[in-house]
Amino acid sequence: MSNILCIGAGHVGGPTMAVIAKHCPQHRVVAVDINAEKIAAWQSDRLPIYEPGLKDTVLSARGRNLFFSTEIERHIAEADIIFVSVNTPTKTFGRGAGKAADLQYWEKTARQIVENSTSPKIVVEKSTLPVRTSEAMERILNSNDKGLFFDVISNPEFLAEGTAIRDMEDPDRVLIGGRETDSGQVAVQAIVDIYAQWVPRDRIITTNLWSSELSKLAANAFLAQRISSINAIASLCEKTEADVSEVAHAIGTDDRIGPNFLRASIGFGGSCFKKDILNLVYLSEYYGLNEVAAYWEQVVKMNEYQKTNFVAKMVDAMFNTVTGKRIALFGAAFKANTSDARNSPAIDICQALLEERAQIVITDPHALDNAREALGEAAEKVVFEPDPYAAAQGAHAIAILTEWRQFVELDYGAIHEAMIQPAFIFDGRNILDHRALHDLGYNVYAIGKPPRTHFPGA
């Protein structure tokens, strides 16, 4: 039996510890957080995040070998293995501001581990970190006067929100990086043994520490780059009457390219892609690799363009003004099946439309509270409406900003009747049946597709 601790019970710490506890009844798993409200929610029936399958997984182990607590110091002292899954946002001040990772929470955690330890431990980087952070971690941890030795392991997480439980239960791979020393390899094996309880051994990849750290940043950069690439092609489609869905299908059938992550959209959001690419950009600049930095930075620039271009298209289509017009935004979450609105393109689009002095109403099945928080002061100017029919009532336009299944299944005939005419739909996720909407009377604009309007000569 091992005592496993996770510091940081957020979108990664909570779900990963729940899955580990479910599959490893022999271990005691505790997730701790400085946020007492969040811990109380993990202990309750209303979990702090919406994630399909999460509740069942938590309930399968909570109280048996899965515990949530705010007593960080006590649980550090008791732990054999400590996963660290605190947030690593982009630095907003000083050197590297706007690009580098802000490692203050990370370093505080390392120091807290040393202070409260009376036995050697394995410390696992679960957060996404710049390459060679584990070296700094080792130095802080092992500069102690207690004679304690800490092994540092990198075990980056690849789960995506909305499919976190599925991704953890059946991962493409688990990555574990460690030192090539005897004790480093023993530590790697201890983490392999945890995952091997449910993950086939050939999907558990072991590497050196730096490869593991860099692979996580590279994986996110490659995924985001595919989205920016298809969005760049979508812009060309809009000028040439090609259809981006047809192009994505045509290129995605090439085995070497593959079909995933080719959905043109209003741009990627979420707490990680932008932050992790900017981190890669900063690292490249740090090592003097300016061309490499510029290459990756362009992925982020393309993503910003995608959002501003979408708003510009809306304003252009609606006779060059949206001032005073009610616009219903369908979706606030950065993707479907999550309540997370951090860095959601929907929030940026909402802000841009507010600057145009549109009257905004937002609807979302799970993310309205987080959208309010993400909008900050601007939230006062926005109506938050859980019912999409009520949101669209009296609106000039609907913009689909999150690909929720619920939005596909609405009665768009009834909605059309309740809207101001001519009614517009801007499908920023290409999820609706555009021909059918046009037949109902809508003027339909999508991403990377010719518009379908009722305006002669348009």
What separation, in Å, do the N-terminal and C-terminal C-alpha atoms of the chain show?
70
Quick one: which of 25, 34, 158, 229 contacts ligand UGA (CB under 6 A)?
A: 158
Q: Nearer to ligand UGA by C-beta: 76 or 431?
A: 431
Residue 223 partner contact from ligand NAD, ligand UGA, none using kind-dependent CB cut-offs of 5 to 8 Å? ligand UGA
Q: Which range in 104-112, 175-183, 219-227, 281-289 contacts ligand UGA by CB under 6 A?
A: 219-227
Quick one: which of 10, 270, 365, 388 contacts ligand UGA (CB under 6 A)?
A: 270
Q: Does 49 engage in binding with ligand UGA (CB under 6 A)?
A: no
Q: Does 12 engage in binding with ligand NAD (CB under 6 A)?
A: yes
**Which pairs count as long-range contacts for 295-299, CB under 8 Å and 24+ apart, including other chains?**
296/221, 296/225, 298/228, 299/221, 299/224, 299/225, 299/228
In 156-208, alpha helices (H): 164-169, 182-195
Angle at 313 between CA 309 and CA 314, to 5 degrees: 120
Minimum CB distance to ligand NAD, residue 401 (Å): 19
Q: Is 103 exposed, middle or buried (0-12, 13-18, 19+ CB in 10 A)?
A: buried
Residue 269 partner contact from ligand NAD, ligand UGA, none using kind-dependent CB cut-offs of 5 to 8 Å? ligand UGA
Helices (H) and strands (E) in the chain, counts: 18, 14
Catalytic residues: 272
Q: Does 160 engage in binding with ligand UGA (CB under 6 A)?
A: yes
Residue 154 partner contact from ligand NAD, ligand UGA, none using kind-dependent CB cut-offs of 5 to 8 Å? none
How many CB atoms are located within 10 Å of the residue 229 CB? 17
CA distance 370 to 367: 5
Q: Please report which helix (H) or strand (E) contains residue 20, including its range.
A: helix 13-23
Tell which positions 313-372 bind ligand NAD, by CB under 6 A. Answer: none
Q: Nearer to ligand UGA by C-beta: 270 or 448?
A: 270
How many CB atoms are located within 10 Å of the residue 104 CB? 12
Quick one: which of 217, 262, 374, 401 contacts ligand UGA (CB under 6 A)?
A: 262
Q: Does 305 engage in binding with ligand UGA (CB under 6 A)?
A: no
Angle at 333 between CA 329 and CA 335, to 5 degrees: 110
Applying CB under 6 A, which residues contact ligand UGA?
Answer: 128, 157-161, 220, 223, 227, 261-263, 265, 268-270, 272-273, 334-335
